[in-house]
Each structure stands twice: as C-alpha cells, then as structure tokens.
Structure 1
Amino acid sequence: MANTVRQRFLDILRAIKPEFLEDETKIPKDVTWAKVRLQKDTHSCGLHVISWLQQWDGSEHEANGCIMPHYTDEDLRELKVGFLWWLVNHPRNNHCQKVKALMEDYHKRLKIH
C-alpha cells in the first residue's frame, strides 16, 4: 500500500512541481518513513504533508526524534492562508485573475456595509 500511495504522490509532484522529478533515475525506490507528530484534527492532513514536503531536511527538530516542528493552532491558520494564496497565484492556475477579481469585489462590498 505504501508504494501505491508513493506512486500517487509522485504523480502529483509531476503535475505540480515537475522540476523535482527532472531525473527520476535518482529517486530512491524505497519508501522513506519520517517521524512526525500526529495532527490534532481530521481535516489538516494535506496541509501537514505539503508543509513537511517544503520543510523536511531530514534533521531532527525535537528530542523525541520528530523531523518536523510542532505546529500550534495559529501556525496552522497561517499555513492555510499561505497555501491558499500560493494556489491562487500559482503559474498554472488558469483562473488566478478571476479569483483575484472576486476577492477584490468581496472586499469592496465589505467596505460598503
């Protein structure tokens, strides 16, 4: 099962960050297991995974061997906003300008009320 999930993950990377996979012969075939903290809720797993992918350097951040820092609720809120903004502004987002226009309209309506 881990290898199937790993393959789907590589498919996602090919779509989102193809430069990570320029030379796929250098990608190890074994699944690397990272010791990370358990999340507190049931809806932030994608956020954690993306954050780990961006930050993981393989070094331990805590005495218990975890390789990723502990996120407070405030940290998670900031990560969510940051990732949302990243998605809106991603060069492959064909609807970037439309989303920004909708956001601008929304803010204008807020100022009127």
Structure 2
Amino acid sequence: MEEKDKFFNMISRMCSSQEGDVSDEDITQDQLRTLGGIERIGNQLMSVVCKILLADMKSEGEAKRHIFDTDFMAIMAVNPSRWDARKREKQFSPEYVDYNIGDCDLIFGPTLIGAHWFCLVIEPKTMNFYVLDSMKPSFAAKKSKKKGVADDDMMTVVIECRDRFYDMIEIVKPNTIGKKKMSDIIWAPVPQQNNLRDCGVHILIWLSEWEPSVMLDYSEEHVANFE
C-alpha cells in the first residue's frame, strides 16, 4: 500500500505541476485510483505515467530505457508509412531528451489501436524489434485477406512502425544499421490477459520491468492488485 500511495502521489504532483501539461481537471482522483480498464487508461493518463517513469530514470542516473510519449506514438500509428522521422527529429534528438536514445538498452512505444494497448520495443544494441501484447492476435490461424480485418490493420501498423523505429536509430546513431536487414517481428512471450480490459495495466508493468532475456511471470491477481 505504501508503494501504491507513493505512485498515486507522484501522479498527482505531476498533474498539478505548473511545468506539466496536464491539470487536475483533466484527470480525476477516481481515474488515478482505477487504472485497470481500457475505458480509464486513455492516452493522457498513459502519457503521464510514461513521463514519471522517464523522470525517475533520469534522476537515478544514466537513462537505460526510453519511452516514447503516447501522443508521439498515436501520430505515428495513424499512418506510419507517411510518418517522416526527419520532420519529427526534434522530438527524439539528444538535445530534446537530454541523451541519445540510441544508447539506451531499450526503446518503448506504448501504442493504442482502437480500444487495445500494446507496446513496440526496439533494442538498439541488436536492432531486434519486439511486440509486447497481452492479447496476441492469431495471425497464423487467420486465412482471410479481406480488408478491414482488425488483425490485418494491426500487423500493418506493426511492420511500418518497425521501419520508422529503424529510421530514428539511423538518425541518432548514423551507420548503425548499414546493410543489415531489418529484424523480423518478434512477438515476445508475455503474460496474457483473460479479459478485454486489462491491456493498459500490462503495459504499465512492462514499461519498467520487461527485458528481452527475462520471461515475466505474474498472475491475474498481480494485475488486479496493481489496479
């Protein structure tokens, strides 16, 4: 309970800070204390949590993880094939974030499509590209090529966002990629939700705890307690 109260106090301070772009009127106390449902975890709340996590990592020293703002990812995911990293360079340049994101161990991109949260991750050291999804689509089982199928839409976004992540690494760490071909999409083994509402909660857990070489093993009870 002490950890939970500390977490909520941090968000409250962030919301009321004059330096923040979120006010107390934007996020209610009820929202702060019910993080579980997708109805409650919108871009704004997820963005606040991302900022807090980044601030904590900076205060502890060298940033080992970078988390893209949810608004940043929302703009990319709308039409990633037309998203131009050069035009957005100021938002991820070392001058803007105070460090080179290409030097981080992992770069996270919490992404919302429709009513579902999932997370895109690139590992600059290996250039491996991961998808963390607590409700992984059944791409292999689906044979329909009909346009408009949600799984097709999501896979298109994932593939094209991977290309844009590579574009950004090439900008901040020139010649890192070279002739190396792009990574296959790696669907990381992560705990799966047993309902339609907890995807946002899983994202909040992964942002600070997920690593490629570590299999997170937590129960629905853990998710419920986090809520």
Indicate whether the TM-score tops 0.5.
Answer: no
The structure that is helix-richer by fraction is 1
> TM-score, normalised to structure 2's length?
0.22
Compare relative contact order (CA 8 Å, sep 6+) and give the higher one, 1 or 2. Answer: 2
> TM-score, normalised to structure 1's length?
0.38
